Structure formats: structure tokens, C-alpha cells
Chains A and B, each alone.
Chain A
């Protein structure tokens, strides 16, 4: 029992130490963002590998999620004779929840794990050390551009996810199941509020992008510089990002939609 407590205490302490290190890392990375703006080429390259390469998985997933929502929503709503509100159901679930959350999870799996592996391997092959010895700050040169690219890409990806999902829902609902197109779009526009739904969903995706990129970069930078260490760090990135995104989503949802 005592041993268990001691173990727990030790783990807690390691956890706090890691949180401290990652916060310090975050500050350094944010500090380097200014210098990234002076060298847009670095940012462009990262927007490509973080954003463009996640584009396909995000659009295809968004399409299918929207189509499934269209089907499921139609069968549930038609029991109440309320098929006209299908647009509201699809759009509200996508914009408020599924868009930011699923694209956040996919982003962590696709871009986050790649970032961790890349940074971890750069560390393992002494590339980061090498840069330091060449008097080039690896945080400014490697971390900050990726950080900025992650934070910029995620809201765009989430918006695409939701938009494509809504169109997918229309295909199924209007195209296949015969819901009136005017009702689909009209009810949606009447019910969804710009401030409360679109902006809040956008804020969510921004926060998720920030957190997922932070975790991915920190895990890579903090990885034990061996093959095993990097693979463990990559796993931790995906797991920790998923937990953080879902946990933060709950808090944000409670804050945003709680008093309505």
C-alpha cells in the first residue's frame, strides 16, 4: 500500500515535471513565431506537410460522416415526421461537435504523429544538436514553423470537414431520401447561429489544433533519442492528443453551449 502511494507520488511528480518542461517548450516555441513570419518559406513548407497532406483524409472522412448523419438522422427524424429538420441535425452536429473533434483526432493521427516522428528522428540523428552547434536555434528553425502551421491548418481542416459533411448529408438526405432541398438549407440557416455555432466551432478547432500540435512537437522534442524512444513518443502523441481533445471539448462545450 505504502509502495503504491509512493509510486503514485512519484508518477505525479514526473507528470508535473513534464508539464513544466512542456510549458517552457511552448513559451520558447511561441517566442520563435515572430521569426517565422520573417521567413515565410519555412512556414509554407510546413503548411504543405501539415495541412495539405491531411487534406485528403479530412475531406473523405467529412464526406462519409456527413452521409452517415444524413442516413441516421433521416430514419430517426422521419419517425416524428420531422425530416425537414434533417439539415439542422446534420449541420449542428458537424459544426458544433463532430467537425472540430473528428478532424482534431484525425489531425493528431495524421499530422501529429508525423511531426513527433520527424522531430524525434531529427533528435536521434543529432540534427537538432547539429543545428545548435551551427549556432542555429532549432526551436526557431524547426519547432516554431511547424507550430504555426499546425495552428493555422487545423481550423481550415475542421471547416472543410464540416462543409463537406453538410454537402454529404445533402446528397443522402435530399438526393437519395427525398427531403426537400429548400427545407434542408432553410431550416439549417434559420436554426444555426453564426456567433453561437460557427464561431464557437471555429474556436474549438483552433484550440484543438493548438493543443494537438503542442503535444506532437513536445513529444518529439522530448523523445528518448533512440528508435524505441521515438516510436513510444509517437504513440504517446496520438493517445495524449485524443484524451486532451475530448477532455477540452467537454469543457468548451459546457462553457459555450451551457447557458442557452
Chain B
């Protein structure tokens, strides 16, 4: 974008990030950059810590090592108050939507506005209805979260995530468990909101087809490392057999179909053991 206005084109920079849970290393010296105004996808098989990465960016987890810079602020070193200041400018869409179950759609979207602004109720109403209109659910404002379908809940959550007009929205598996229509609706929303509101978006997903349609740039994570990055076109042409297997969804390849085990024939012949 306009390079004069910002010192760097990157809104988020991650340098030499390491993080482990127990003895498993989830990130091992990972570095990546998220460009302003773009939709960046972080892809990889389940269990590679994609959600963990979002939590690290949001400051909910602390890395063992490395820097996570969001808009010039190093997240792991921020005080609680400063961190909360940054978080007000980040919207996050959780996998389950994470709507507050004891209030209706309207109050859910109004929640961050009421918590962080002193706006009069009439102004809040206007803002809430605008955000709900943007996700097409203005008519559903009176419903409770348990009356919403999964796709609608995610759209409400999206309206809530953009309520404070953030600079960046993090999407945690936005397409998982959605039917094709709501998948299409969500993909369209993410794309259009990103351009109309001038957002920067990070999508964490293992849904190859939808994500690569809307992403401007893709990082592929596996075993705590980045094994490939580039525009969707570049990734699709990648010479890496691993990336090819991931993108096409082949059953066997560098990621084996079988969990490591001893020789099949030997195993069947070794009688007298329970396992």
C-alpha cells in the first residue's frame, strides 16, 4: 500500500518464534510477515498450532522465544494495559463464534462498543445495525445465540469483531463445519469487508479450496516450520511434494497414511500379546 504513510508494509512481523506445549515443539524458529491491507492465509494440517499462532499474535499466550510485532508494538513485552489497548484494535473470529450465550445478537454486537466507548445508546444502535447489515443479519438482532445456525453465529461474531472498526481481523478456521452456501457467504464477507473497511486479515485454515480463492498470500505450516509461502498461484505450482499432497488432499504421500508401527506381517504373527 502507501509506503510513505507506514514505516514498513508489514502490520505483523514474527521473528524467530519458538513455542512448545509440554515436550512438543509447536513452533520452531518461525518467521513470517503479514502485509497491511491484504488477506494472508496460514494453512497446514490439523494440530500444527495454527490457532496457537493467533493466540500468540493476540497476546493470549507468550512465546518462549522470538518477537511478535503488531503495528510496531512487540506483543510479548507489552504490559497488560498496553496489550488491551492493542487488542481493542484487533478483531478475532473464533472457530465456534464465541458469542456470549446469555445475550441476544444485538447485545452481543453492542458488547465491545459498550465496554470500550461512552457512546450514547442511540449511537450504539446505529453502529450495531450497520455492522449487522454488513453481515446480512439485521433482521436477526433479537435472536439468542442458541437459535442461530453455525454459519449465522459466525456472521454475528464477525459483526462483533468489526464493531470497533479494528485494523486487523484474525479468523480462526472460519470455514470449518459449514455447508457450501454459508462457506461461500463467509468467504465473500471476508473478502469484501477486507477491502471496504481497509482491514488486514489473517485466516488460519486447513480448507484449501475456499481459502486459496480469497487469500492474497499463503504460508504453509507443518511440524513447527514454514515449509512454503507465496501467492496462491505460486503455492499451487510448488515443487514440494508435501505441499502438493496438502493442496490436493491425497491420502498418502510425505504425510503417511499409517501411524508409525512395526512391520505389519511381524505384528500379525506375534501372538500371545494383547496389543
Q: Is A56 positioned at the interface, with any CB of B under 8 Å from its CB? A: no
Q: Please provide the chain A residues from 97 to 146 with a CB less than 8 Å away from any CB of chain B in the complex.
A: 121-122, 125-127, 129-137, 141
Q: Which A residues touch B94, using CB under 8 A?
A: 126, 129-130, 133
In the bound complex, do residue A129 and residue B116 qualify as a contact, i.e. CB atoms below 8 Å apart? no
Residue of B with least CB distance to A132? B60
Expressed in whole angstroms, the Cα–Cα distance for A127 and B92 within the complex equals 12
Q: Which B residues touch A132, using CB under 8 A?
A: 58, 60, 87
How far, in Å, is B54 (CB) from chain A's closest CB?
9
Contact flag A127-B112 (CB < 8 Å), given A133-B87, A133-B90, A135-B87: no
In the bound complex, do residue A127 and residue B111 qualify as a contact, i.e. CB atoms below 8 Å apart? no
Expressed in whole angstroms, the Cα–Cα distance for A133 and B169 within the complex equals 11
Name B's interface SS.
Answer: mixed
Task: Count residues on chain A whose CB falls below 8 Å from chain B CBs.
Answer: 15
Name A's interface SS.
Answer: helix
| Count, A-B residue pairs, CB within 8 A | 52
Q: Which B residues touch A134, using CB under 8 A?
A: 87-88, 92, 111-112, 115, 160
Q: Is B238 positioned at the interface, with any CB of A under 8 Å from its CB? A: no
Expressed in whole angstroms, the Cα–Cα distance for A141 and B100 within the complex equals 12
In the bound complex, do residue B84 and residue A127 qualify as a contact, i.e. CB atoms below 8 Å apart? no
Contact flag A133-B101 (CB < 8 Å), given A125-B96, A126-B94, A126-B96: no
Q: Is B99 positioned at the interface, with any CB of A under 8 Å from its CB? A: yes
Expressed in whole angstroms, the Cα–Cα distance for A126 and B173 within the complex equals 13
How far, in Å, is B204 (CB) from chain A's closest CB?
14
Expressed in whole angstroms, the Cα–Cα distance for A257 and B96 within the complex equals 54
A residues with CB within 8 A of B: 121-122, 125-127, 129-137, 141
B residues with CB within 8 A of A: 55, 58, 60, 84-85, 87-88, 90, 92, 94-96, 98-101, 111-112, 115-116, 157, 160
> What are 5 A-B contacts defined by CB distance under 8 Å?
A125-B101, A126-B94, A127-B99, A130-B157, A136-B115
